[in-house]
Amino acid sequence: MPAPTLHSPLDRVDDTDQPVGRVERGDVFRLGVGFRVVHVFVQDHDGQLLLQEIGASRTRSPGRLGSSVAGYLHAGESYVDAARRRLVEELDLTTPLTKLGAVRMPDDGATKFVELYGTVSDTATNRDPAHIEGIEYWPLDAVEQTLAAEPDRFTETFPYVFGVFLVATGRHLP
């Protein structure tokens, strides 16, 4: 199943992340409703984090650095199923996933609920060059330092999910 389009139905969720109806993806921000997305952090066997550079033609966050994988959930789709789907669609990976945590955040007048998963692979391949400008493994210290010094290099969501990752792995920002 491909990623949701602007007209695809998503679950509209309440303040506790429970479905209360459906909404087209393209209407989420206009209506300011709750919705769900999933992120996956891919680390290599040395512990480096794979970051993607969002494609220049993308509407949201073009040219910024973001999670290894990210995507909206289809209506009725579970977070873990969406994580598996996007991992294959974006990076051609079928590696096992571990749930690292979740976060709720404001997003352009709407409320975004995000679950973060982690996996390990040294062999990610950019399968969607129209969506992803490039991918690169970064040492965690370099991610932390760049995020602290140049937060605008990253998507708006990245600091939230990186915080979840730090808590899950017992690390702390410098």
pLDDT of residue 1: 67
Query: What number of other Cβ atoms are within 10 A of residue 9's Cβ?
Result: 14
In a domain, 85, yes or no: yes
In a domain, 2, yes or no: no
Looking at the domain assignment, is residue 3 inside a domain? no
- Three-class SS state of 156: coil
Amino acid 174: pLDDT: 55
pLDDT tens sequence for the chain (174 residues): 667 777 899 999 999 999 999 999 999 999 999 999 999 999 999 999 999 999 888 888 889 999 999 999 999 999 999 999 999 999 999 999 999 999 999 999 999 999 999 999 999 999 989 889 999 999 999 999 999 999 999 999 999 999 999 999 998 655
pLDDT of residue 21: 97
Domain that holds residue 26: 9-169
Within-domain flag for 51: yes
In a domain, 174, yes or no: no
The most distant pair of C-alpha atoms in the chain lies apart, rounded to whole Å, by 43
Q: How many CA atoms lie within 13 A of 61 on its CB side?
A: 21
pLDDT value at residue 62: 85
- The answer to whether residue 153 sits within a structural domain is yes
Compute CA 57 distance to the chain's CA centroid, rounded to the nearest angstrom. 18
Closest alpha carbon to 121 in 69, 50, 43: 43
**Does residue 40 sit within a domain?**
yes
Read off the CATH number of the domain in which 121 is found.
3.90.79.10
